[in-house]
């Protein structure tokens, strides 16, 4: 029929893909390699060593990094947990709520943190906190993080719930299960891959944030990105490259975990028919 | 109710009555901590500046006046257009536009290639493109700076293979910022185009081929128009964050490649700041984003009608 022409292949697209991946990975690989450099200078290569990794934990800046890492992790865990709970409730309300007035407005509100440019969110949040006299510090960072994590947690949970037939809940309801029992014993097990992906994405987003944190952190409080930024402003040092490499590995680990949890989502829930879209 | 079992219903009478309570935490947290703050920022942009940061509650148009007009050193000259801030915004727009174009040139072939792989290898290619997106943007920008700096690995390599004699001085130029923006948001371009090409029905291409259209004509006249919603989505996902980017211009650019993000940030740092001016600049940025989103929504709805 198509005279032997493969319409799915175009000359040059494969090299372009390789180029794309090369561009995406080259800087990350270079930094990883140079973080293993024994030299004090970042320009010359003097053999492999882990001294800069040791320096992160024992060097003069180790106290600062430890505090920043602790802040980053506790804020990310709390923000992601809270955002995931809010997003789960919202997804059930949106998808199982039928059609109601203000549904698209609700959806717009939930996606608002993604639509507004980060710097604008940062400015608005700072102005708001200062106007209501909210003291800047760990708590203000946490509140800001919860808000912008909600849509990231919401998306995978929403996608998962859309694929689940409501008849499971109906069946449980017919068997006199309470709402709480239905939620806990019927919905949670089926929704869990979406909830776990949502949590992990929110966690990474919180851990990565620089701009908003930088605005609302207040004096003296640092997270890892703000600490790294402050240090990089005075020039890239080898210990920062080692720290960056560790964070990079953590991100890759989390995304891969999220991906494999997501793979479980691909397995169809035993249902006769998946609703394609939710109007 | 029983008749509906297994027909793929999404509405459940179990949770529908509770929807208000389920949605309330989301409404309240985003409404209270983002929607109200943005509205408050609009109010602040019309207030008088306090010299040590913050505002005095006296309404004025001073912030917008400062943005658009120059009234001389003492503020009593006749109004002339102030180009300083407009040119920063203009630079941001073309930097973001340039980054979008670069991302499209690299991202479209990549997305098309990945979408036409067999299912088993497709997920691996896709994961490879997605992973860098989830790596901390700050770390990626710093990595890029490390790579392209004057005596960095890229210049060493190019000199080693004899392509250049003198190191390329990219840092603190518009080109470095452009590279940084392109690098930051490249995965955003690939993913929506991938999704669109994956849904594309290749029997359309076959029909065109049977009518003696050559491959590149098919790509230009059939594939691209059909997947254009994905292309528009990719462009918007690259353009909008590039416009307000802070890290790439701040770390890779210098004073001559100042962009909106840095201008806004400066207004809220230390004693030199001007909160109403920062709020006004943020509002102007937000309006530009809304304009971009409006064109996007219009293009999408036209795409649906076509």
On average, the pLDDT of chain B sits at 87
The confidence score (pLDDT) of residue B150 equals 84
Q: What is the mean pLDDT of each run of 10 residues along chain A (279 residues)?
A: 71 93 93 86 77 84 90 96 96 87 89 92 94 92 96 91 84 88 89 90 91 91 92 86 90 82 58 43
Establish if A253 touches chain B: CB-CB under 8 angstroms.
no
Q: Which of A4, A5, A7 to mutate to test the interface with B (most CBs of B within 10 A)?
A: A7
Which residues in chain A touch residue B107, judged by CB atoms under 8 angstroms apart?
Answer: 20
Instruction: Say if residues B176 and B252 touch (Cβ distance below 8 Å).
Output: yes
Establish if A203 touches chain B: CB-CB under 8 angstroms.
no
The confidence score (pLDDT) of residue A39 equals 79
Lookup: tokens for A183: 């939620």
Nearest CB to B109; choose among A16, A124, A150: A16
The confidence score (pLDDT) of residue B165 equals 84
Q: Which of B206, B202, B148 is nearest to B173 (CA)?
A: B148
Q: Do A2 and B109 touch (CB under 8 A)?
A: no
The confidence score (pLDDT) of residue B134 equals 85
Q: Do A30 and B22 touch (CB under 8 A)?
A: no
Q: Which residue has the higher pLDDT, B159 or B79?
A: B159
For B139-175, letters b (16+ CB in 10 Å) and e give: bbbbbbbbbbbeebbbbeeeeeeeeeeeebebbbbbb
Distance CA(A38)–CA(B11), nearest Å, equals 61
Report the DSSP pairing between strands B55-56 and B69-70. Answer: unpaired
Nearest CB to B109; choose among A17, A171, A210: A17
Q: Which of B150, B177, B178, B153 is nearest to B166 (CA)?
A: B150
Q: Which residue has the tokens 């790579």?
A: B147
pLDDT band for position B4 (cuts 50, 70, 90) = very low
| Distances in whole angstroms, Cα of residue A66 to Cα of each of A71, A180, A222 | 9, 41, 10
Q: Do A109 and B35 touch (CB under 8 A)?
A: yes
DSSP code string of chain B: -GGGTTS-----TTTGGGHHHHHHHHHHHHIIIIIHHHHHHHHHTTSEEPTTSSEES---SHHHHHHHEE--TTS-SPPEE-HHHHHHHHHHHHHHHHHHHHHHHHHHHHHHHHHTS-HHHHHHHHHHHHHHHHS-HHHHHHHHHHHHSTTSHHHHHHHHTTS-SS----TTSHHHHHHHHHHHHHHHHHHHHHHHHHH--THHHHHHHHTT--HHHHIIIIIHHHHHHHHHHHHHHHHHHHHT--HHHHHH--GGG--HHHHHHHTTSGGG--HHHHHHHHHHHHHHHHHHHHHHHHHHHHHHH-
Tens of pLDDT along B225-239?
999 989 999 999 999
Measured in angstroms, the CA of A277 and the nearest CA of chain B are apart by 10
Q: Which of A111, A19, A151 is nearest to B182 (CA)?
A: A19
The confidence score (pLDDT) of residue A28 equals 92
Establish if A97 touches chain B: CB-CB under 8 angstroms.
yes
Instruction: Say if residues B234 and B124 touch (Cβ distance below 8 Å).
Output: no
Q: Which residue has the tokens 């949590």?
A: A199
Q: Do A9 and B116 touch (CB under 8 A)?
A: yes
Distance CA(B115)–CA(B223), nearest Å, equals 13
The domain over range B84-267 is classified in CATH as 1.10.3720.10: yes
Tens of pLDDT along B40-84?
999 999 998 887 777 888 888 888 888 888 877 676 777 788 888
A165 by DSSP, 3-state: which? coil
Q: Which residue has the tokens 């605005």?
A: A215
Nearest CB to B130; choose among A126, A144, A255: A255
Q: Which of B1, B23, B52 to mutate to test the interface with A (most CBs of A within 10 A)?
A: B23
Sorted by where each begins, the domain ranges of chain B are 84-267
Searching chain A, which residue's CA lies closest to the CA of residue B209? A2
ipTM of the complex: 0.86
Establish if A123 touches chain B: CB-CB under 8 angstroms.
yes
What would the mean pLDDT of B119-140 be, rounded to a whole number? Answer: 89
Q: Do A95 and B147 touch (CB under 8 A)?
A: no
The confidence score (pLDDT) of residue A41 equals 74
The confidence score (pLDDT) of residue A246 equals 92
Nearest CB to A251; choose among B129, B136, B240: B136
The confidence score (pLDDT) of residue A143 equals 96
What would the mean pLDDT of B192-218 be, rounded to a whole number? Answer: 90
| Distances in whole angstroms, Cα of residue B278 to Cα of each of A62, A146, B94 | 35, 24, 21
The confidence score (pLDDT) of residue B296 equals 87
Q: Which of A133, A242, A263, A252 is nearest to A194 (CA)?
A: A263
The confidence score (pLDDT) of residue B32 equals 95
Q: Which residue has the tokens 């940025």?
A: B285
pLDDT band for position B115 (cuts 50, 70, 90) = very high
Which residues in chain A touch residue B56, judged by CB atoms under 8 angstroms apart?
Answer: none
Considering only residues 177 to 196 of chain A, which have any Cβ-Cβ distance to chain B shorter than 8 Å? 179, 182
Measured in angstroms, the CA of B76 and the nearest CA of chain A are apart by 30
Q: Is B213 exposed, middle or buried (0-12, 13-18, 19+ CB in 10 A)?
A: middle
Of B25-34, B160-169, B277-286, the least confident: B160-169
A258 by DSSP, 3-state: which? helix
- Where residue A4 falls (left for φ over 0; alpha for ψ -120 to 50; beta otherwise) is left
Of B49-53, B143-147, B265-269, B284-288, the least confident: B49-53
Question: Looking at the predicted structure, is the pLDDT value of residue B2 above 60?
Answer: no
Searching chain A, which residue's CA lies closest to the CA of residue B3? A167
The confidence score (pLDDT) of residue B187 equals 92
For B99-111, letters b (16+ CB in 10 Å) and e give: bbebbbebbbbbb
The confidence score (pLDDT) of residue B153 equals 85
Of A34-43, A136-145, B121-130, B193-202, the least confident: A34-43
Q: Do A90 and B131 touch (CB under 8 A)?
A: no
């Amino acid at each position: 029929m198509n005279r032997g022409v493969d319409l799915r292949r175009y000359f040059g697209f494969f090299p372009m893909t390789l180029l794309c991946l090369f561009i995406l990975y080259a800087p990350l690989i270079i930094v990883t390699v140079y973080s293993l450099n024994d030299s004090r200078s970042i320009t010359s290569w003097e053999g492999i060593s882990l001294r800069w990794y040791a320096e992160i934990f024992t060097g003069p800046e180790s106290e600062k990094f430890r505090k920043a890492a602790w802040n980053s992790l506790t804020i990310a865990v709390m923000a992601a947990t809270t955002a995931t709970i809010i997003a789960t409730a919202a997804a059930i309300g949106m998808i199982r709520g039928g059609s109601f007035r203000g549904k698209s407005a609700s959806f717009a509100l939930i996606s608002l943190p993604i639509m507004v440019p980060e710097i604008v969110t940062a400015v608005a949040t700072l102005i708001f906190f200062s106007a209501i006299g909210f003291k800047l510090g760990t708590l203000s960072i946490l509140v800001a993080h919860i808000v912008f994590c909600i849509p990231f947690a919401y998306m995978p949970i929403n996608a998962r719930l859309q694929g689940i037939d409501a008849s499971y809940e109906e069946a449980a309801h017919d068997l006199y299960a309470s709402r709480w029992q239905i939620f806990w014993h019927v919905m949670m097990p089926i929704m869990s891959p979406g909830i776990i992906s949502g949590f992990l994405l929110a966690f990474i987003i919180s851990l990565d944030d620089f701009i908003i944190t930088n605005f609302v952190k207040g004096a003296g409080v640092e997270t890892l990105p703000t600490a790294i930024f402050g240090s990089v402003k005075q020039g890239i040092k080898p210990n920062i490259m080692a720290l960056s490499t560790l964070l990079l590995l953590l991100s890759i680990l989390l995304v891969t975990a999220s991906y494999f949890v997501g793979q479980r989502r691909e397995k169809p829930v035993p249902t006769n028919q998946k609703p394609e879209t939710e109007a | 109710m029983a008749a509906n079992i297994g027909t793929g219903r999404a509405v459940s009478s179990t949770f529908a009555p509770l929807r208000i309570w389920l949605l309330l935490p989301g409404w309240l947290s985003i409404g209270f901590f983002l929607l109200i703050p943005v509205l408050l920022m609009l109010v602040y942009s019309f207030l008088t500046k306090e010299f040590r940061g913050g505002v005095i509650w006296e309404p004025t148009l001073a912030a917008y006046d400062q943005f658009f007009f120059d009234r001389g050193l003492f503020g009593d000259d006749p109004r002339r257009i102030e180009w300083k801030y407009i040119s920063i915004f203009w630079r941001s727009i073309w930097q973001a536009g340039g980054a979008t174009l670069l991302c499209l040139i690299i991202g479209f072939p990549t997305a098309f290639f990945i979408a036409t792989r067999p299912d088993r290898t497709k997920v691996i290619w896709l994961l490879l493109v997605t992973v860098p997106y989830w790596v901390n943007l700050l770390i990626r920008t710093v990595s890029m700076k490390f790579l392209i700096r004057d005596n960095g690995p890229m210049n060493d390599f190019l000199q080693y293979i004899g392509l250049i004699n003198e190191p390329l001085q990219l840092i603190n130029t518009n080109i470095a910022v452009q590279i940084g923006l392109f690098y930051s948001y490249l995965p955003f371009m690939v993913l929506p185009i991938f999704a669109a090409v994956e849904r594309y029905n290749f029997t359309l291409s076959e029909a065109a081929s049977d009518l003696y259209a050559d491959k590149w004509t098919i790509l230009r006249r059939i594939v691209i128009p059909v997947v254009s919603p994905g292309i528009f989505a990719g462009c918007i996902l690259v353009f909008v964050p590039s416009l307000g980017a802070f890290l790439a211009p701040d770390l890779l650019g210098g004073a001559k490649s100042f962009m909106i993000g840095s201008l806004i940030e400066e207004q809220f740092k230390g004693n030199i700041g001007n909160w109403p001016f920062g709020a006004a600049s943020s509002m102007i940025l937000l309006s530009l984003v809304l304009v971009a989103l409006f064109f996007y929504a219009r293009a999408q709805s036209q795409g649906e009608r076509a």
